[in-house]
């Protein structure tokens, strides 16, 4: 069993993901938003790469059952119901709804993996729940690919720390996976600076951009470990919560 980490969404495209469990991470903020929405009772989140695609799909659906959500340059897309702040996705707003979501980097990374055995979405807010799925897969002999959304094809610290935490979480208590070089580096990064997640989020590039754009409160929401224990998995191009009994 092997664990590979890709430090931006595009990097995974050149790799053979077939038969693997693929974990996609966009801590700031798409993964956190998706876990929050599903934990708060949304029926499904449908990720889209483009704004036009999401808008076109919304036109084909009953608008009373659908929420159109997403950001560009961190701000709500004009005409959309919600942006990409996890704090917007409360139970009152999302329960029973299907959310069509498009974000700059995160949702594109989620629709990209081809041939995977499973695509799962992770962040700090659902860390332990997702870790249980990854450990179960590794124990059963399935290799893991962890895809960091990154930003515009670049490395992002917050996704690397979170990826490293998953690498470290899988690689203990009787599981000794072979680690690719990037997986080793991610684990080192988490060990080095992952101790205070909120401080790390406040210091990283995108965290500082979010503060400047008025989304400072989102950082605390994204830093909460295990606040939204749900496992979003891709089924027929929709992210739905994995039933609790299937997690192990």
User: Using CB under 6 A as the criterion, which residues of the chain lie in contact with ligand MLT when the complex forms?
Assistant: 26, 28-30, 71, 74, 84, 103-106, 149
Residue 53 Cβ vs ligand MLT, minimum distance, rounded to whole Å: 15
Residue 65: other Cβ atoms inside 10 A: 10
- Cα of first residue to Cα of last residue in the chain, in angstroms, is 17
For residue 149, say if its preceding peptide bond is cis, omega within 30 degrees of 0.
no
Supply the minimum distance, in Å, between the C-beta of residue 195 and ligand MLT.
23
In the complex, least distance from residue 211 CB atom to ligand MLT, rounded to whole angstroms: 11
Provide the minimum distance between the beta carbon of 107 and ligand MLT in the complex, in angstroms, as a whole number.
6
CB of 50 to ligand MLT, least distance (A): 13
Q: Which is nearer to ligand MLT, 74 or 182 (CB)?
A: 74
Chain center to CA of 153: 16
Cα–Cα–Cα angle for 15, 21, 27, rounded to 5 degrees = 90
Compare residues 221 and 230 and give the one whose CB is closer to ligand MLT. 221
Nearer to ligand MLT, 37 or 149 (CB): 149
- 86/164 with CB nearer ligand MLT: 86
Based on CB atoms, which residue is closest to ligand MLT, 39 or 135?
39
Q: Give whichever of 69 and 116 is closer to ligand MLT, judged by the CB atom.
A: 69
Comparison of 105 and 145: residue with beta carbon closer to ligand MLT? 105
Q: Could you count the other beta carbons within 10 Å of the beta carbon of residue 214?
A: 11
Q: What angle do CA 131, 153, 58 make, to 5 degrees?
A: 75
Enumerate residues 6+ apart whose C-beta is below 8 A from 89: 33, 36, 37, 40, 42, 69, 82, 99
Is residue 93 left, alpha or beta, with left meaning phi > 0 and alpha meaning psi from -120 to 50? alpha
Contact call for residues 74 and 209 (beta carbons, < 8 A)? yes
Tell me the closest approach of the beta carbon of residue 43 to ligand MLT, in angstroms: 21
Shortest spacing between CB 78 and ligand MLT, in angstroms: 15
236/131 Cα distance (integer angstroms): 23
């Amino acid at each position: 069993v092997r664990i590979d980490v890709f430090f931006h969404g595009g990097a995974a495209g050149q790799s053979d993901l077939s038969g693997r469990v693929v974990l996609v991470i966009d801590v700031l903020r798409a993964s956190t938003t998706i876990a929050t929405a599903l934990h708060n009772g949304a029926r499904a989140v449908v990720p889209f790469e483009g704004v036009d695609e999401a808008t076109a799909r919304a036109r084909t659906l009953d608008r009373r059952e659908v929420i159109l959500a997403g950001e560009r340059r961190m701000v709500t897309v004009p005409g959309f119901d919600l942006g990409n702040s996890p704090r917007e996705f409360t139970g009152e707003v999302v329960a029973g709804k299907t959310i069509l979501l498009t974000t700059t980097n995160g949702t594109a990374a989620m629709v990209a993996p081809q041939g995977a055995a499973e695509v799962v979405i992770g962040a700090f807010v659902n860390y332990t729940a997702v870790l249980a799925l990854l450990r179960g897969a590794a124990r059963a002999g399935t290799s893991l690919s962890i895809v960091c959304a990154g930003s515009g094809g670049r490395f992002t610290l917050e996704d690397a720390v979170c990826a490293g935490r998953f690498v470290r979480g899988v690689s203990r208590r009787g599981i000794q996976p072979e680690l690719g070089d990037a997986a080793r580096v991610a684990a080192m990064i988490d060990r080095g600076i992952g101790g205070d997640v909120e401080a790390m989020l406040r210091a990283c590039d995108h965290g500082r951009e979010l503060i400047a754009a008025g989304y400072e409160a989102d950082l605390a929401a994204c830093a909460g470990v295990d606040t939204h224990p749900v496992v979003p998995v891709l089924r027929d191009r929709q992210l739905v919560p994995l039933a609790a009994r299937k997690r192990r």
